[in-house]
């Protein structure tokens, strides 16, 4: 839930959106190509193997463009046509998703200007956020999320009343504009919850659930091109399964972290379903990169085909364009499903092997020389420690 990223974005969009046409961007993929993006770029692209599949949650687009790295799935507030050209030059198949939250407002003027500018674009109505839209306690106070922090320099996030018709009209207009932009392959919805934990006296859980379903039903009806819809589930699917009919996939935020505490085993089970799953591992807002945890999450994402991997700073500041040598591994295509052996999880690829070991040490033996992508070591025998994962490539 990186709100600082959207601060800079809000300024950009407020200034630039008037030049963005919903009918003709000149660069991005056309609406009919939304499921297979990448055809709009006129720049010779950098080739990118399908595995690993690297995502960026609430992406810092300028960092991604500057990095020159081929991210596969970029989730952000909005993508301008000129940004699409640059991103697609790095990966022609990059999937671009945009959006905010359906029921929450960050109390930051530039962020709110971004929301209302996008919502008002192409409409006969100029949308504004009014006091009546906020969800309120019996004493009249707003319902805070608990995000305000002097340490992080971040304002509070407040719940909006999902029953308020003016709020519903505003937020659905925002998603209408976002979906209509052909450079967007779909949308994201952040901070999805089934229950109003923060202000239980302001609205009943059932009222919150029913009203939120109504909003998402309206958004679904606006999705006439059948673009992707990704929700931030927080910990896992069971936290948002009441909305299961409205999304194609979900993000597991702070995955294997101390805040939301989703485990490796829960993540592995999540991939058993039909949904796209994004494992969003981070540093827990410390900035200290735990490479074992990074590799464990990355190798977990390689055990299935419906999964992506992201690694960044944490919930207070998502979206850094970090890139690790393991991301460049040329695995080729998988040769079959993963299997369990020696309390670890293995999957064979055309060019190598992935081993994900969440619980114990494991010895890996090969008939031929392989290279450990992490260390560069070449051997026929390797050791993978607990809470770690490794990618091994057949030595040429």
State the chain's mean pLDDT as an integer. Answer: 89
Residue 318 tokens, joined: 């998502």
In the prediction, which pLDDT does 48 show?
56
CA distances from 306 to 207, 248, 271 (A): 33, 11, 7
Helix (H, G, I), strand (E, B) or coil at 51: coil
User: Crossing angle of helices 109-120/3-16, nearest 10°?
Assistant: 50
- Give the torsion through C-alpha atoms of 82, 188, 197, 259, to 10 deg: -80
Q: Taking the CA of residue 28 as centre, how many other CA atoms within 13 Å lie in the half-sphere pointing to its CB? A: 30
Taking each helix axis from N to C end, the angle separating 109-120 and 165-180, rounded to the nearest 10 degrees, works out to 70
Distance CA 312, CA 63 (A): 12
17 in helix, strand or coil?
helix
Chain center to CA of 333 = 24
Which residues make Cβ contacts (< 8 Å) with residue 315, sequence separation at least 6? Answer: 1, 2, 253, 254, 259, 282, 285
Which residues, listed in sequence order, are joined to residue 379 by a DSSP beta bridge?
370
Q: Answer left, alpha or beta for residue 99, where phi above 0 means left and psi between -120 and 50 means alpha.
A: left
What number does CATH give the domain 3-328? 3.20.20.70
The span from the CA of 244 to the CA of 237, in Å, is 8
User: For residue 396, what pLDDT is reported?
Assistant: 79
Per-residue tokens: 388? 């770690």
Residues lower than pLDDT 70 in the chain: 1-49
Write the secondary structure of 76-140 as one string of H (helix), E (strand) and C (coil): ECCCCHHHHHHHHHHCCCCEEEECCECCEEECCHHHHHHHHHHHHCCCCCCCCCCHHHECECCCC
Q: How far apart, in whole angstroms, are the C-alpha atoms of residue 268 and residue 345? A: 10
Residue 394, H or E segment: strand 388-394
Q: Domain 339-394 classified CATH 2.60.40.1180? A: yes
Asked if 195 and 103 count as a contact pair (C-beta separation under 8 A), the reply is no
Residues with Cβ within 8 Å of residue 125, at least 6 apart in sequence: 173
* Alpha-carbon torsion angle 101, 181, 76, 42, nearest 10: 170
What is the model's pTM? 0.89
Contact 284, 257 (CB under 8 A): yes
pLDDT at residue 4, rounded to an integer? 37
Domain boundaries, the chain: 3-328, 339-394
């Amino acid at each position: 839930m990186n709100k600082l990223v959207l601060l800079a974005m809000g300024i950009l969009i407020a200034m630039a959106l008037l030049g963005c046409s919903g009918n003709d961007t000149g660069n991005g993929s056309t609406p009919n190509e939304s499921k297979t993006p990448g055809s709009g770029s006129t720049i010779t692209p950098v080739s990118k193997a399908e595995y690993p599949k690297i995502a960026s949650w609430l992406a810092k687009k300028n960092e991604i463009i500057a990095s020159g790295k081929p991210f596969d799935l970029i989730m952000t507030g909005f993508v301008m046509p000129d940004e699409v050209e640059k991103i697609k030059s790095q990966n022609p198949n990059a999937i671009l998703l945009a959006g905010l939250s359906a029921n929450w407002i960050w109390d930051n003027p530039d962020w709110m200007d971004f929301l209302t500018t996008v919502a008002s674009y192409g409409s006969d109505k100029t949308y504004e956020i009014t006091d009546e839209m906020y969800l309120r306690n019996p004493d009249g106070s707003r319902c805070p999320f608990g995000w305000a922090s002097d340490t992080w320099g971040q304002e509070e996030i407040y719940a909006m009343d999902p029953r308020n018709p003016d709020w519903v009209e505003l937020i659905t207009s925002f998603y209408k504009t976002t979906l209509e932009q052909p450079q967007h392959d779909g949308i994201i919805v952040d901070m999805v919850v089934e229950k109003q934990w923060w202000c239980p006296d302001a609205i009943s859980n059932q009222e919150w659930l029913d009203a939120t379903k109504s909003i998402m039903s309206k958004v679904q009806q606006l999705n006439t091109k059948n673009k992707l819809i990704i929700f931030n589930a927080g910990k896992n699917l069971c936290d948002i399964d009441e909305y299961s009919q409205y999304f194609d996939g979900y993000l597991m935020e702070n995955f294997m972290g101390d805040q939301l505490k989703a485990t490796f085993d829960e993540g592995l089970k999540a991939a058993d379903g039909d949904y796209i799953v994004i494992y969003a591992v981070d540093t827990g807002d410390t900035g200290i990169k735990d490479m074992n945890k990074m590799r464990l999450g990355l190798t977990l994402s390689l055990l299935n085909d419906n999964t992506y991997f992201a690694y960044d700073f944490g919930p207070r500041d998502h979206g850094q364009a970090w890139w690790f040598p393991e991301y460049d591994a040329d695995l080729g295509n998988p040769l079959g499903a993963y299997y369990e052996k020696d309390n670890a999880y293995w999957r064979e690829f055309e060019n190598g092997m992935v081993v994900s070991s969440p619980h114990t040490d494991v010895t890996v033996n090969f008939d031929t020389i392989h290279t450990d992508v992490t260390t560069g070591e070449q051997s026929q025998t390797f050791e993978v420690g607990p809470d770690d994962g490794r990618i091994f490539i057949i030595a040429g």
